Chain A
Amino acid sequence: MSDSAVRLSGVSFSYSGVESDSLAKLELSLRPGEFVVLAGPSGSGKTTLTRLINGLIPHYYEGSLLGQVVVDGIDPSANALWRLPVGSVFQNPRAQFFTTDTTSEIAFGVENLGLPTAEILSRVEEAISAMGLADLRDRSVFALSGGEKQRVACASVAAVRPAIYVLDEPSANLDLESTRQLREIMAGWKAGGATVVVAEHRLGFLRDLADRVLLFADGQLRTEFSGADFRSLNDEQLHQLGLRSAWGETMTATQGPPGGDCFEITGLRCRHRSTHAPGLSAPRPEDAVHVDHLRIPKGKVTVLVGANGSGKTTLATWLGGLRRDREGRLNDGRRNWNTAERRRRVFLVLQDVNHQLFTESVAEEIALSARLAGPTGLPILSEAEIMERLDLVAVADRHPMSLSTGQKQRVAVATALASGREVVVLDEPTAGLDLHHMNAVADALRVLADSGRTVLVATHDIELVAACADLVIRLDHGILTPV
């Protein structure tokens, strides 16, 4: 027995069907009550480590595991998964619910412990009050925002009172305010003496909580920093380590009103729409937008910022011609584009890029867009040229779904370019991306603008703004506000 919360000695793991080790010869010991941040680029082994701790390796993911893992004195390989005192929160808030209403969901983990009903209820109440979820009680999970979902997931895990919390990119789909709330929850766990392990790209909100930061690259633990050492690094040093900024979470970029040729949106009113959420009688809101006058410069990258729920997605789908709100005009400087025309001439890259790649290879995906392209006044690039400019040549024959999220986003940009459409609207293209992939997406957006496309990006990624914005506009509760 040891006094470590988690101890790994000589651990290597490779997923079945994959040649190389996803994690190699790892030596690691975490103290009880320690708050540890796992940093490093995508594919560096962070997620694999979280799976070794919460038992998904070897109980869910098969592969070859060498070395010894001990979690709270237990060997995960020799014990059923439910014996591990580990609570896990995952990246996608949408998919980690087993039930369809919030109260059952918060109770789910405790129920599985086999406790008596009274004890379950008191633990659920405790979790609800600890995380300030009183107004989310008895709601349909389908009607919650991403941030609300993530807080419910945290409450469900916390009600079990695990000794160790493992979080895999919990903030990937959250805006700043939701991230702040997530931070409060994690601070509470730390104060309660639990061991917390977080794999993340966004480091700002974890900066003050971290006792230790482990930097991974290529399946190896490269460096580690104490919390104090980590806090002494500035953004430039972090970027050199391949990490996202930990300090720049406030907006600095401001530009004057755009000159030159512009698209103009006037008198846009998108009403708040609520469709019935399946599963329970609760409305799922689509946020309202109220824009009197907005100029989007042609051939530039305009970044639209704002919290979740501010109407960014509504505006994007309206521009793409997927909403038929009668009020509102998009004018290209000469004439108005109606809904059908917007649908034909605006290319929309939706939030979940996984839904919009259809074919069996990157090259074919781009060719499909090219085949469907209508007439355009813009320069048409050949498929080979597009792959060259967007750094996709190496993956031309790969299936789009086998790529990383960042690469998929670049494929989506490539299809936009091949489609010849004049306007490209993207919704959160850098959610969950590491520094390298975020920069690659920013470069891809620049390629679009340099080829004469008008680009509008909805995002809450401040670093993306710094990396590619010609103009920044802000939407707050559906209304344009000064940046």
Chain B
Amino acid sequence: MARELFRLDPRTTLLLVAVLNVVMFSAGFAAGAGVARMIFMTIPTVLAVGLGRWLAALGYTTLVWLAFSFETWSLDVWWLGGLNLILAGLASLVARLAPGIFMAYIAVISIRVGELMAGLAAIHLPRLVIIPAAVILRFLPTVREESASVQTAMSARGLSLTRVGPLAWLEYRLIPLIMSTLRCGEELSQAALTRGLGRPVRTHRIARIGMRPVDVLTLGAMVTGIGVWIVG
């Protein structure tokens, strides 16, 4: 894939999504917790660079470090009064939410559907989970495309928020999106069924999954982060 330096095993990515969110919301204000948060804030930056998404990495990193610094700093210097409180709350929210959201974005853009199915099958999850999970990953970009098309069509017709009012605007925005997504879903469903999805056999997927050095490094960073958090 063009410009891609490295990519994680889907299982590593999913584990990271989960652990990162726990750390962000549970880590308090002790020194060790701060270091742990810094480690987990940095991992998504590295992954985004690995995927060749330099701009996204830069934007995220700037935002999250600004917010993190402000959160830490404003707790120590107490001089803006009520404004300080609001700003600190906002910064704290951004600093704790942004890494999780950005990591979820990385998961969506980096995990391929074939790898996800292979990875989830390798950890013995039932088809009850694998099939919907694959469809979700497959459909997130589709909904984004459909949503952009509906938005374009609304602009072309001149259906702006100010001209039609908020309720009609929501209806025009949502109903065609739901309809066209459902239509895509029907077609996807038919294509998958006629190509044997659901056959009760043990399937082997050819997507290459497995632990590579980057996975080991990432897991190492995660363990270090959690270690520092607990010890500190």
A and B in direct contact, judged by CB atoms within 8 A: yes
Measured CB to CB, the residues of A under 8 A from B are: 54-56, 59-60, 80-82, 86-88, 90, 92, 94-101, 103-105, 107-109, 111-117, 120-121, 124, 138, 140, 142, 153, 156-157, 160, 276-283, 320, 322, 343-344, 347-348, 350, 352, 354-359, 368-369, 372, 401, 415, 419
The smallest beta-carbon distance between B56 and chain A, in angstroms, is 9
- Looking at the complex, which one of B159, B164, B193, B204 makes contact with A116 (CB distance below 8 Å)? B204
Contacts of B212 in A (CB 8 A): none
In the complex with contacts A86-B194, A142-B141, A320-B156, A98-B134 CB distance below 8 A? yes
Q: Is B109 an interface residue (CB 8 A)?
A: yes
Cα-based distance from A401 to B177 in the complex (angstroms): 12
Nearest B-chain residue to A138, judged by Cβ = B1
Measured CB to CB, the residues of B under 8 A from A are: 1-4, 51-53, 108-109, 112-115, 134, 137-138, 140-142, 144-146, 149-150, 152-159, 163-164, 171-172, 175-176, 179-180, 183-184, 187-199, 201-207
In the complex with contacts A160-B195, A281-B53, A96-B114 CB distance below 8 A? no
In the complex with contacts A281-B1, A350-B152, A354-B176, A108-B195 CB distance below 8 A? yes
- CB of A401 within 8 A of CB of B179, answer yes
The smallest beta-carbon distance between B228 and chain A, in angstroms, is 32
- Looking at the complex, which one of A59, A109, A278, A352 makes contact with B195 (CB distance below 8 Å)? A109
In the complex with contacts A96-B187, A109-B195, A111-B205, A322-B155 CB distance below 8 A? yes
Nearest first, the 4 A-B pairs at minimum CB distance are: A104-B114, A114-B201, A278-B141, A112-B196
- CB of A60 within 8 A of CB of B189, answer yes
- CB of B138 within 8 A of CB of A98, answer yes
- CB of A60 within 8 A of CB of B193, answer yes
Contacts of B3 in A (CB 8 A): 281
- CB of B153 within 8 A of CB of A355, answer yes
If A98-B191, A115-B204, A355-B153 are given as contacts, then 20 extra A-B residue pairs at C-beta distance below 8 Å, sorted by A number, are A81-B198, A92-B187, A95-B183, A98-B192, A98-B197, A101-B113, A105-B114, A107-B205, A109-B196, A112-B203, A114-B204, A121-B206, A142-B141, A157-B195, A279-B141, A282-B1, A282-B2, A344-B158, A352-B149, A358-B157
Contacts of A415 in B (CB 8 A): 157
- CB of A87 within 8 A of CB of B194, answer yes
- CB of B141 within 8 A of CB of A372, answer no
Cα-based distance from A322 to B113 in the complex (angstroms): 33
Most chain A beta carbons < 10 A, residue from B154, B183, B193, B198: B193
Contacts of B164 in A (CB 8 A): 372
- CB of B113 within 8 A of CB of A100, answer yes
Nearest A-chain residue to B199, judged by Cβ = A82
The smallest beta-carbon distance between B18 and chain A, in angstroms, is 21
- CB of A280 within 8 A of CB of B194, answer no
Cα-based distance from A115 to B202 in the complex (angstroms): 9
- CB of A356 within 8 A of CB of B157, answer yes
- CB of A281 within 8 A of CB of B153, answer no
Contacts of A160 in B (CB 8 A): 195-196
- CB of B197 within 8 A of CB of A112, answer yes
Contacts of A283 in B (CB 8 A): 2
- CB of B152 within 8 A of CB of A322, answer yes
Contacts of A103 in B (CB 8 A): 114, 206
Cα-based distance from A140 to B138 in the complex (angstroms): 12
- CB of B191 within 8 A of CB of A96, answer yes
In the complex with contacts A116-B204, A279-B112, A358-B172, A55-B159 CB distance below 8 A? no
- CB of A104 within 8 A of CB of B176, answer no
- CB of B141 within 8 A of CB of A104, answer no
Cα-based distance from A111 to B118 in the complex (angstroms): 11
The smallest beta-carbon distance between B215 and chain A, in angstroms, is 19
Contacts of A142 in B (CB 8 A): 141, 145
- CB of B159 within 8 A of CB of A358, answer yes
Nearest A-chain residue to B173, judged by Cβ = A358
A-B contact pairs, 28 of them (CB 8 A): A82-B199, A87-B195, A88-B191, A88-B194, A90-B190, A92-B184, A95-B184, A96-B190, A98-B195, A99-B138, A100-B113, A100-B137, A104-B115, A109-B196, A117-B204, A156-B195, A157-B195, A280-B109, A281-B3, A281-B51, A322-B152, A322-B155, A348-B156, A352-B180, A354-B183, A355-B150, A356-B157, A372-B164
- CB of A112 within 8 A of CB of B199, answer yes
- Looking at the complex, which one of B114, B134, B191, B202 makes contact with A114 (CB distance below 8 Å)? B202
Contacts of A116 in B (CB 8 A): 204
Contacts of A60 in B (CB 8 A): 189-190, 193
Nearest A-chain residue to B194, judged by Cβ = A88
- CB of A355 within 8 A of CB of B195, answer no
- CB of B140 within 8 A of CB of A278, answer yes
Cα-based distance from A322 to B144 in the complex (angstroms): 18
Contacts of B140 in A (CB 8 A): 278
Cα-based distance from A94 to B181 in the complex (angstroms): 12
Contacts of A59 in B (CB 8 A): 193
- CB of B149 within 8 A of CB of A54, answer no
The smallest beta-carbon distance between A249 and chain B, in angstroms, is 28
Cα-based distance from A240 to B157 in the complex (angstroms): 38
Contacts of B204 in A (CB 8 A): 111, 114-117, 120
